[in-house]
Structures are given as structure tokens and as C-alpha cells.
A and B are shown apart, each in its own frame.
Chain A
Amino acid sequence: MPLYLTDEQAMLRDTARDFVAEHAPVSHMRALRDAGDSTGFSRGLWRQFAELGLTGILIPEAQGGLGLGHVEAGVVLEEIGRNLSPSPFLATAVGAVEALKGSAHADRWFPGIVAGETVAALAIDEGAKHNGRIAMRAERSGNGFRLSGTKQFVAHGHVADLLIVAARTEGGTTLFALPRDTAGLTVTPERLADAGIAARLTFDGVEVDADAVIGEVDRGDAPLARMLAGGRVGASAELLGVGGGAMDRTVSYLKERKQFGQPIGSFQALQHRAAHLYSEMEVARAAVLKAQQLLDAGDPGATDAVSVAKAMTSLATTLAVQEGIQMHGGIGMTDEYDIGFYMKRARVLAELFGDANFHADALARAAGY
């Protein structure tokens, strides 16, 4: 398979590009923030995503979705990233769908996701750094389980209809699907640096039925791995959009802004830095598409490729937003100008599901050093 988008994928990208730019440009995110909106995104916009079929992009056609892959989910996420659109797309249409796929829960939750009525949140991290370790416990209790522990950095966790929760059971890891209004669960929303909202969840002996288990008890590693791979490659695609959006704005600014009587983009010091940034972003783009294709093909090399994509996009996009502010000069430091939003969003996405160091370390471990 060639490492560029097929005509169909490019068409989908163009559709997503027009739609997101029109309905959720950066001003949409700014307006939500300025209004102190406590949801953090627009439910109406989410339903519009559904009208285009995008919420079911990874859901099989037999279950009402589009039956497409991570490449297609990625082209949508890139546009979300480019416009800094607050959206539950990554957690819901990618993470939750990957976790639920093939399980009995799919029939219960997929129709709502396809319809744009259901929003999901992924409860994975238990500390400030994503580390893959799960301390939260789920103990047998009656016909079900009793969950104890805390989760944090759960995007949309305060308003989600569905929570996917990873916990430790007697013989391994188990993944649970629960409604957010499950009794005994404490949800505390926290506003983040990028104006998005993520929740802390406290499970203090929360009772859930046995049918909350996704797949089989103690066998949660496989759906968890699928969910994380989708989340990581999806976050990479969104980062690509954030970095690309920051770079495009910066390059335009270099062409417009005049100092010493000429456009600053004519100065070699800035040209070289912009060209270096372009190179890093192109390499990151190739790494993302490679990972998406391998994931869609079920290739065993996908795990490493996903780590490469997440690490590389984190590095490249971090450079893009840093150069963006520096090259904009003083105006880049103002809240009025959008470039700062890109820096804040990039920082959040770089941290999500493991940062560059986490994934470089994962590659090193996989290679045995």
C-alpha cells in the first residue's frame, strides 16, 4: 500500500477540512472558553459530526457505522487539531469504539455514538504521567464487582455518558463500561491549560454489575491495548493538525510581517528555522500514516510504529508551537492572538497516552535495551 492517502481518503479529508473549518474554527473554541462553558465542547457540533457519519467512522457497517480505519479517523482528527476544535471525537469515536468493538457492549453503546448522542471518556491514567500501570482494584462482590481507586486526566469525564475504566482484577486486567451516573462515583472536573476540561474520578467501593465487564474478566489487556493504540495514533494525528496549523499560521505571518522595511520571511535566520520545522513535520506526517496503515492491516509492527508516531509528532509539534510564538514575536504572547492556543493544546496532546519520552522508552524496551 503506498504511503499516501488514496483518492477516497483525500476526499474524506477535504470534507472534514471544510466542515471543521466552517463549524468549529479556533473562534469556536475561544467563544466556549470566554463563556466559561462548563461542558467544554458543543453537543450540537457533536450531532453534526454524526450527521456526516463521522462519529461512526470506526464502527462496522453492520452496526450502523462507516466501517473505515485509523487512516480515515486520522484525517478527521488532523482537521480537529488544525482548528483546535474541542471535540469528544478521539475518546468516543476512536478510543471507546476500539475498546467496545466485538463485545456485547457494542450493541448497547454504538447506536448512541453513531447518532451523536453518546459521549465517552477513557479512565486510564492514575498519576500525572501516563505509565501503563493500573493500581485501581475491582474485587468480586455479589454478582458483580466493587471498584476502588482514582483516575485522572479523563477528558470529558464530567459530562460523558459512558466511562471506559481499566482496573486490576484477581487474575489480570479487566476493562469496564459504566454509565457516568453510577452510584458512588465522584467526578471532579478540572479545567486544563488549554481550556479543555478533564475529570478526576474517585471510586470509593463503587458497585457495578458483572455485565459492565468488556469482554472477559482478567482478559482486558487486548481491548485496552487496542484502545490505547487507537488513542495514541489518533492523538498523533491530532498533534499533526495542531503542529501543521501552527506552522501554516507562522509561515503566513513571516510573509506578511515587515521589519527593517522587508518581510521578515526574507531573513535567512528565520527561513532556515521554518525549513527545519517543515522537515520535522513532514517526517512526523509519514510516521503517523505508517502507523495508521499498519494498525489497519493488523500488522504486528504496529505497536512500535504507533510509539514512533506519538513520540515524533510530540517532538515535531512542540517545535512547531515554540517556533510559532517566537517568530510571531510579542504579539504571539497575547491572548488575543490564536497562536498561544496552539501551544497549550499541543502540550496537552503531547502528554495524552504517553509523551515522547514514554514512547522512546517503550521502543527501547521492545528492542531489549
Chain B
Amino acid sequence: MAEDPETFRTETRSWLEANCPPAMREPMRSDKDATWGGRNPSFAHPDQKVWMDRMGARGWTVPDWPREYGGGGLSAAETKILREEMARLRCRNPLNSFGISMLGPALLKYGTEAQKLEHLPKIARGEIRWCQGYSEPNAGSDLAGLQTSAEDMGDHFLVNGQKVWTSYADEADWIFCLVRTDRTTKQGGISFLLFDMASEGVSTKPILLISGYSPFCETFFDNVKVPKANLLGDLNKGWDVAKYLLGHEREMISGMGLGGSGGNALVEGALRTIGADEGGRLADPLLRAQIALFEVRARAFAAMSERFIDELKAGRAHPAQPSMMKYYGTELNKTRHELVMAAGGSDALEWESEASNHGATPRAWLRTKANSIEGGTSEIQLNIIAKRILELPS
């Protein structure tokens, strides 16, 4: 560390206090308050842009990336201090980004110097918004069965096919995409391509979900020309990049089990709707018990997350452990939202009223049902744990 931790903490705290706008210290009311950046960014509040730009300029949207790629160049210990100070001030996340959580780590590991310099700083500053082209109509859990093809045309690839469940494809600027470059083998014939969603031949169609939102799209490629320089990693070795990236995605999703403020938010909601008994305890004893037992698991999982991060940093985590984290975290998150709905009663069923913030609670509940499907289903994670960690026979 360049300076001593306490100096860094003091300086970080005063910078955040001076630079994080008060509106960015308020809890988010809905998904619309999240900042995603991009070429045509949308901000529900002007301070979202201020906050993103200030953090991006400092490299603090990606504090532990190297400075030459737009990062903050912070050590792990400094990054931890920054996150702690942000949490202390309740600073919102300045930038939500698949570029940060998924593509970035893969670019850092597999990218050429030119690719890193081209893409990473724009991710860090929120200038380019990325989406992920993995799943296809006939390649969901069996991801390696994908058929979208990239034909070698000498100076470029010609991409044809269809993706599905492409999160925010209609709002993304670029896509990182798995394509088939060899039909004679399954995993060994996949390559990893990066290309501009504004390329000719790319079209998207949002899919309306049970939550009433359309965060996912069908994405179509019709003779899309992609320069060869946009291949990430080696030709036909895209599966390695994809697996590496999926590990990061699972880590990110597993964190959702810890989202919100744990049991307390549940209890506050339940006390509002159900009330307390004479002893000051939640008047529905069965719900109280369910919340309390949920809290046991949620707090234990918080310890597990801490342990997982510590082991990752020390290089001692089992490579398949992200599967366990993803499985447990997402199942826990679904349980949390079932309890939120049970605690909310009929208030939690309001779908469009102003008071309910346009049904934020039931929509969030429905959204969580995808947690154990996206990024590899719970069943796929259990397969991985069984085979790779417990080494059960095939």
C-alpha cells in the first residue's frame, strides 16, 4: 500500500463526503434508479451522472483495475477500505455494468493489449454498455450446444444466428458473444467475439416477463460482419473464456442473497402490516419463526461469503466453489422475497399504485424467480458441485 491505511481511509472518507451527492446516498426506490451508463444513458436523477463521472474519473468504479486501463490501481486492502467507506456513507453503486462484473475480468486475463486499452477504460467510465450473448433457444442449460455461427471470411467473421435471454440487449452498445467456429466438436468449437450492437444485421426484441418488465431480449444476427481483431482469446477456445467469466457472474449473483438489509427489512415490513403482540414480538408467531430461521441462514451465508472472498484472495478456494455460492445465494434470495410477500400481505400485491412505487415489491419478488435459472440453473450448479467437488461418478 502506497500510504498507511488510516491516511487512505481518512482521505477517502473526505473525498466521498465532498463528492458523493446527497441524492446518491438515498436508498434506491426501483430498478430505474440504477445507473448503467452507455452511449445513450438514462438517468432518473441528474446526480446519477455526476456521481458516475466523478467516480469514473478517479477509476473508482473499478478500484482494483490497473490505472492504465481506467482503474483506480488500488490494492485489495485499499479497495476494501473504499467499499467500507462507501457503505458507511450509504453511497449508491456509481455504475452497474456487465462490463465491470463479467467482461472486464475476462478481458484482463485473455485480452490483447490493444483490446484492453480499447475497451476497459470505456467500461470504467460507463461510456459503453455491454450485454452478454450466451443462451440460445436450444442452448440454455446445455450452453455448449449453441449454434450461432461465425464463418471465417478472411478479414472478418460473418455471424448468423439467434440469442435469447440477452439482458438489456436493446439498451446495450456492445455484446460479448459465444459463437460456433467449428461444428465438428462441441466445447472445442466455440469462440468468443466482441462486437458493436450498432453493426448492420443486429436486431433485438424485448421479452415481456411475469414481472411486467422486459429486461431480457431475443437478439438476432443476420450476416453481421465482425473484424477478426475482435476475437477474445484463441479461435475455438472461447469455452475457456466463457467458463472463466461464468465464475465471475456466479460470484456476482451469489451476492444477491445478501442484498437489502437482511432480516431487519423483513421485520419492519411485517411489524407494519401485522403488528406486535403484548410482548413486543411479531404478532404472527409462525411468520416470526420463519423469518428468524431465514435470518440464521442469511447470517451464516454472510460468513460464507466473507470466507469465500478471503479464500479467493489467498488462492485457496476450490475452483468450483462459485457454483455453491451461486446455488445457495440465489435460493436464499428467493426465500427472502417469499417472506417479504408473506409479510406484506395485500399491500405487497398492489401492482400499479403510486403508494406501492408501481408494484416494486411484487415485481422484485417475481424477478427473483429467475435467480436460480440465469447464469446456470440451480440444478446445473448442483451437478457441478457433485462432480467437481464431491467427485461423484458420471
Majority-rule SS of B interface residues: helix
Contact between chains at A279 and B307 (CB < 8 Å): no
Q: A316: nearest residue on chain B (CB-CB)?
A: B300
Contact between chains at B390 and A274 (CB < 8 Å): yes
Contact between chains at A361 and B392 (CB < 8 Å): no
The verdict on B169 contacting chain A, using a C-beta distance below 8 Å, is no
- Expressed in whole angstroms, the Cα–Cα distance for A369 and B276 within the complex equals 8
- Expressed in whole angstroms, the Cα–Cα distance for A268 and B282 within the complex equals 41
Contact between chains at A287 and B304 (CB < 8 Å): yes
The verdict on A211 contacting chain B, using a C-beta distance below 8 Å, is no
The verdict on B382 contacting chain A, using a C-beta distance below 8 Å, is yes
Contact between chains at B303 and A364 (CB < 8 Å): no
Stretch from A133-141, A142-150, A352-360 contacting the other chain: A352-360
Q: Mark each residue of chain A from 311 to 332: 1 if its CB lies under 8 Å from any CB of chain B, else 0.
A: 1100100000000000000000
Give the contacts of A242-289 with B (CB-CB under 8 A).
Answer: 251, 254-255, 262-263, 265-266, 268, 270-272, 274-276, 278-279, 282-287, 289
Chain B interface residue number, banded: 35 or more
- Expressed in whole angstroms, the Cα–Cα distance for A58 and B313 within the complex equals 30
Contact between chains at A279 and B328 (CB < 8 Å): yes
Contact between chains at B390 and A251 (CB < 8 Å): yes
Contact between chains at A3 and B295 (CB < 8 Å): no
Which residues of chain B come closer than 8 Å to A290, judged between CB atoms? 303, 306-307
Which residues of chain B come closer than 8 Å to A368, judged between CB atoms? 267, 280
For the complex formed, measure the closest distance between the CB of A112 and the CB atoms of chain B, giving whole angstroms.
Answer: 36
Give the contacts of A213-267 with B (CB-CB under 8 A).
Answer: 251, 254-255, 262-263, 265-266
Give the contacts of B262-311 with A (CB-CB under 8 A).
Answer: 263-264, 267, 270-271, 276, 280-282, 288-289, 291-293, 295-297, 299-301, 303-304, 306-308, 310-311
- Expressed in whole angstroms, the Cα–Cα distance for A308 and B385 within the complex equals 25
Which residues of chain B come closer than 8 Å to A304, judged between CB atoms? 299
Q: Mark each residue of chain A from 143 to 187: 1 if its CB lies under 8 Å from any CB of chain B, else 0.
A: 000000000000000000000000000000000000000000000
**Interface size on A (CB < 8 Å)?**
46
The verdict on A298 contacting chain B, using a C-beta distance below 8 Å, is no
Which residues of chain A come closer than 8 Å to B304, judged between CB atoms? 282-283, 286-287
For the complex formed, measure the closest distance between the CB of A224 and the CB atoms of chain B, giving whole angstroms.
Answer: 23
The verdict on A300 contacting chain B, using a C-beta distance below 8 Å, is no
Query: Contacts A279-B327, A308-B303, A312-B300 given: A265-B393 contact, CB under 8 Å?
Result: yes
Contact between chains at B379 and A360 (CB < 8 Å): no
Contact between chains at B306 and A286 (CB < 8 Å): yes
- Expressed in whole angstroms, the Cα–Cα distance for A126 and B281 within the complex equals 26
- Expressed in whole angstroms, the Cα–Cα distance for A315 and B298 within the complex equals 13
The verdict on B316 contacting chain A, using a C-beta distance below 8 Å, is yes
Interface centre among A276, A282, A284, A361 (most CB of B within 10 A): A282
Q: A280: nearest residue on chain B (CB-CB)?
A: B328
For the complex formed, measure the closest distance between the CB of B338 and the CB atoms of chain A, giving whole angstroms.
Answer: 17
For the complex formed, measure the closest distance between the CB of A32 and the CB atoms of chain B, giving whole angstroms.
Answer: 32
Query: Contacts A3-B310, A287-B300 given: A364-B386 contact, CB under 8 Å?
Result: no
Query: Contacts A315-B296, A364-B288, A367-B267 given: A274-B310 contact, CB under 8 Å?
Result: no
Q: B280: nearest residue on chain A (CB-CB)?
A: A368
The verdict on B7 contacting chain A, using a C-beta distance below 8 Å, is no
Contact between chains at A283 and B267 (CB < 8 Å): no
Contact between chains at A369 and B306 (CB < 8 Å): no
Q: Mark each residue of chain A from 88 to 126: 1 if its CB lies under 8 Å from any CB of chain B, else 0.
A: 000000000000000000000000000000000000000
Contact between chains at B392 and A2 (CB < 8 Å): no
Which residues of chain A come closer than 8 Å to B394, judged between CB atoms? 266
Contact of B392 among A255, A279, A289, A307 (CB under 8 A): A255
Contact between chains at B271 and A272 (CB < 8 Å): no
The verdict on B324 contacting chain A, using a C-beta distance below 8 Å, is yes
- Expressed in whole angstroms, the Cα–Cα distance for A270 and B308 within the complex equals 26
The verdict on B389 contacting chain A, using a C-beta distance below 8 Å, is yes
For the complex formed, measure the closest distance between the CB of A325 and the CB atoms of chain B, giving whole angstroms.
Answer: 18
Which residues of chain A come closer than 8 Å to B386, judged between CB atoms? 271-272, 274-275
Which residues of chain B come closer than 8 Å to A279, judged between CB atoms? 324, 327-328, 385
Give the contacts of B59-76 with A (CB-CB under 8 A).
Answer: none
The 10 sampled A-B contact pairs (Cβ below 8 Å) are A251-B392, A263-B393, A274-B386, A278-B324, A286-B301, A304-B299, A360-B292, A364-B281, A364-B291, A367-B267
Q: 4 closest Cβ contacts across the A-B interface?
A: A271-B386, A275-B385, A287-B300, A290-B303
